[in-house]
Amino acid sequence: MEPTARARKTPLPGVGARYDMTTESGRHLSVVVHQDARRFLAFHDPEDDDACKDATALAPHEATALADLLTPDPVGHLQQHLEIDLVTEHITVSKRSPYAGRTLGDTQVRTRTGASIVAVLRRTSAVPSPTPDFRFAVGDTLVVVGTREGVGAVAELITGG
């Protein structure tokens, strides 16, 4: 079992909060989160908590990018061992589609192709995981996931091509 790191939170009245942790190598790392959402990454002297050795301000997009880099990918190791041939494609329901005005269940997409329609984008909204009674409209964009062959078969089915 891997060791877990715990951040300690210290309220900073009028400022925000400071989150501290000590790394396995003994470095004292802090993130100060201001009330206005500014963030600062800093290294402190473990002997003197108020002595900051180095710090840098992070813009919101930089904090997000750093968090993404530091967050372990729970399935990343699978890609080293498996070759997964999945693709995602957007397919538009046109006037010529034999399924315009018909339901998802009518298509029998998964049974016929092995691919799945995982969402439908309609104007300015999205319908995730549409149910079999979901009715397609002209202009809908279907988000399809499957193998290259399966997604191609869905495109052919939906476009009538």
For the segment 39-93, what is each residue's pLDDT rounded down to a tens digit?
Answer: 888 887 767 767 778 888 877 877 777 777 677 666 655 555 556 678 899 999 9
User: Whole-number mean pLDDT of the chain?
Assistant: 85
H/E stretch holding 102: none
Examine the pLDDT at 130 and tell me if it is beyond 70: yes
Q: Give the range of the structural domain holding residue 117, as residue numbers without chain letter.
A: 87-159
Confidence check: pLDDT of 110 > 60: yes
- The reported pLDDT for the residue numbered 2 is 60
Residues 107, 67, single domain; the answer is no
For the chain, what is the radius of gyration of the CA atoms? 25
Across the range 126-137, mean pLDDT stands at 95
Quick check: is 3 in a domain?
Answer: no
Cβ atoms of 66 and 39 closer than 8 Å: no
Residue 69 is predicted with a pLDDT of 67
Q: What is the mean pLDDT of residues 129-151?
A: 95
Alpha helices in the chain (DSSP H): 60-70, 76-81, 104-107, 109-113, 148-159
Residues with Cβ within 8 Å of 72's Cβ and at least 6 positions away in sequence, in order, are none
Cβ within 8 Å of residue 100, ≥6 positions away: 93, 94, 136, 137, 138
Could you tell me if 105 and 43 lie in one domain?
no
Model confidence pTM above 0.85: no
Q: Give per-residue pLDDT as tens, 9-20.
A: 888 888 888 888
Residues 93 and 61 in one domain: no
The answer to the question of residue 56 being in a domain is yes
| 96 located within any domain | yes
pLDDT for 39 equals 87
Backbone angles phi, psi at 160, to 5 degrees: 75, 15
Contact 106, 117 (CB under 8 A): no
Count of structural domains, the chain? 2
Q: Are residues 93 and 146 in the same domain?
A: yes
CATH number of 138's domain: 3.30.70.1450
pLDDT of residue 42: 85
The residue among 21, 43, 71 that closes a domain is: 71
Q: Is residue 121 part of a domain?
A: yes
pLDDT of residue 122: 94
Q: Is residue 100 located within the same domain as residue 136?
A: yes
